[in-house]
Amino acid sequence: MTSTNPTKRPRFFLEIVLGLALAMLFSALALNRVASSSSPYRQLTDALAKAEGAKVLSIASYDDFYNLPMPRYLLKQHQSAELGYDEVIARASLGEKAFYNYLRQQKVTHVVVPKTYDKRGEIFHKWGKYGSIKLKLEKPYFERSIATDGENPVILFRVITDGSINLAQPIPRYKIKWWAINERAFSVQVSYIKNVFDYEYSYNYVDGETISWISESDSGILESEIEFSIDEPNNDGATYSVEIDLNSAYGSTGFTQIIEAFGDSLQQTVKIEAGKPQTLALSIRANERIKVKTFLPCQEERQFDLGSASTYVYCYGISDIRVRIKN
């Protein structure tokens, strides 16, 4: 009967372990190459690799932000411009030109958006903390580059750098500060349905995307006089153009209302009638407090909608607030 040499056993097992480790390493590298070549973002990352100093920023509408892939997965070796998202949204709310100048100042070369952008044709956010966002990524500021397919598809836009910009003029970061208004008028509401393995989320505005009713607050207080200011931390004396589109409550079956906006440097009055929206066009200094009040009584829904028994009180509607830099 022969015996096994005890000194060879460790070497034998060491060879097996090393062999398995090398096999696993080569398998992992092979799988990584396959995954990389079959990645839905391969075309996109290849395009970025060809762009010198690629710097990418992501932006989405209020209801599809979570359709964006994680920047670290999407960009890999490319520099990400994942600034504070509120900072990006604030600049986008100032319109295409201001947003473009901001991207150029930040040396951003590309913008990534969810492919759902194609359905709406714009990046959309309702007015609220900022002015309305209806951002179209089109020439002369943006050029469509690549669209991906598969899970979480995206579109890559190139920031056109042919034109010159004023690098010395910063694009301000501002917020609209509100008083005496129910935030339900502009806040995104999140709901979900529980599935077998996960949750399905949906995002919406209480009054829809096209209107917000200025009405009775949650505490029963009428919003017949609301206030706002364009808050800017640096307070560098900037002046803003603010256009507020007003609608009679309840649209074409609504009632007449007279609305006045006034502050330290302005006073303007408009009359809105059923089916005839009007616009308050204001020039506002940074941090100037503006009051918007009604002159005629707000009304219960049943008073102007004969088919309703609701006693909920409406004053008027705001469909859009556009904020632009004047100087």
- One-letter-per-residue 3-state SS of 181-206: CCHHHCCEEEEEEECCCCEEEEEEEC
In a domain, 67, yes or no: yes
Give the other-Cβ count within 10 Å of 202's Cβ.
10
Q: Taking 50 as the threshold, does the pLDDT of residue 326 lie above it?
A: yes
Do 206 and 140 belong together in one domain?
Answer: no
What per-residue confidence (pLDDT) applies to 254? Answer: 80
Q: Taking 80 as the threshold, does the pLDDT of residue 147 lie above it?
A: yes
What per-residue confidence (pLDDT) applies to 236? Answer: 64
- Mean pLDDT for the stretch of residues 91-114: 93
- Mean pLDDT for the stretch of residues 106-120: 92
Q: Taking 50 as the threshold, does the pLDDT of residue 262 lie above it?
A: yes
Residue 52 DSSP class: T
Do 142 and 209 belong together in one domain?
Answer: no
Q: Is 237 left (phi over 0), alpha (psi -120 to 50) or beta?
A: left
Q: CB-based burial of residue 219 (10 Å sphere; 0-12 exposed, 13-18 middle, 19+ buried)? A: exposed
Q: Taking 60 as the threshold, does the pLDDT of residue 182 lie above it?
A: yes
Query: Which of 159, 183, 207 corresponds to the end of one domain?
Result: 159
Do 184 and 321 belong together in one domain?
Answer: yes
Q: Which residues pair with 111 in a beta bridge?
A: 57, 157
- Mean pLDDT for the stretch of residues 39-60: 84
In a domain, 271, yes or no: yes
Q: Taking 70 as the threshold, does the pLDDT of residue 59 lie above it?
A: yes
In a domain, 6, yes or no: no
The larger pLDDT score, comparing residue 291 to residue 12, is at 291
Cα-based distances in Å from 60 to 66, 73, 91: 9, 17, 13
Instruction: Determine which of 99-103, 224-228, 321-325 has the lowest per-residue pLDDT on average.
Output: 224-228
Cβ atoms of residues 220 and 284 within 8 Å = no
What per-residue confidence (pLDDT) applies to 38? Answer: 56
Do 137 and 182 belong together in one domain?
Answer: no
In a domain, 32, yes or no: no
Do 123 and 182 belong together in one domain?
Answer: no
Q: Taking 50 as the threshold, does the pLDDT of residue 14 lie above it?
A: no
Do 125 and 245 belong together in one domain?
Answer: no
- Mean pLDDT for the stretch of residues 81-92: 78
CATH number of the domain within which 181 lies: 2.60.120
pLDDT-derived band at 23, boundaries 50, 70, 90: very low
Query: Which of 134, 159, 184 corresponds to the end of one domain?
Result: 159
What per-residue confidence (pLDDT) applies to 125? Answer: 95
In a domain, 36, yes or no: no
pLDDT-derived band at 217, boundaries 50, 70, 90: low
- Mean pLDDT for the stretch of residues 122-151: 94
- Mean pLDDT for the stretch of residues 130-134: 96
Tally of domains in the chain: 2
In a domain, 16, yes or no: no
Give percent of the chain with pLDDT exceeding 90. 42
Do 115 and 206 belong together in one domain?
Answer: no
Do 133 and 182 belong together in one domain?
Answer: no
Q: Taking 60 as the threshold, does the pLDDT of residue 222 lie above it?
A: yes
Q: Which two tokens stand for residue 177?
A: 């500060």
Q: Taking 90 as the threshold, does the pLDDT of residue 41 lie above it?
A: no
Range of the domain at 307: 175-325
Do 263 and 217 belong together in one domain?
Answer: yes
- Mean pLDDT for the stretch of residues 73-89: 61
What per-residue confidence (pLDDT) applies to 24? Answer: 33
Cα-based distances in Å from 49 to 38, 55, 97, 144: 17, 11, 27, 17
In a domain, 1, yes or no: no
What per-residue confidence (pLDDT) applies to 5? Answer: 38
Place of tokens 């979900």: 192
Output the average pLDDT for the chain: 80
Do 314 and 274 belong together in one domain?
Answer: yes
Cα-based distances in Å from 94 to 99, 284, 309: 7, 14, 41
pTM, rounded to two decimals:
0.81
What per-residue confidence (pLDDT) applies to 145? Answer: 94
In a domain, 10, yes or no: no
pLDDT tens readout for residues 44-54: 888 888 888 88
- Mean pLDDT for the stretch of residues 211-234: 79
The larger pLDDT score, comparing residue 44 to residue 68, is at 44
Query: Which of 126, 159, 192 corresponds to the end of one domain?
Result: 159
Do 196 and 318 belong together in one domain?
Answer: yes
Q: Taking 80 as the threshold, does the pLDDT of residue 183 lie above it?
A: yes
- Mean pLDDT for the stretch of residues 61-67: 86
- What is d(CA 254, CA 251) in angstroms, rounded to the nearest whole number? 5
The larger pLDDT score, comparing residue 270 to residue 166, is at 270
Do 179 and 141 belong together in one domain?
Answer: no
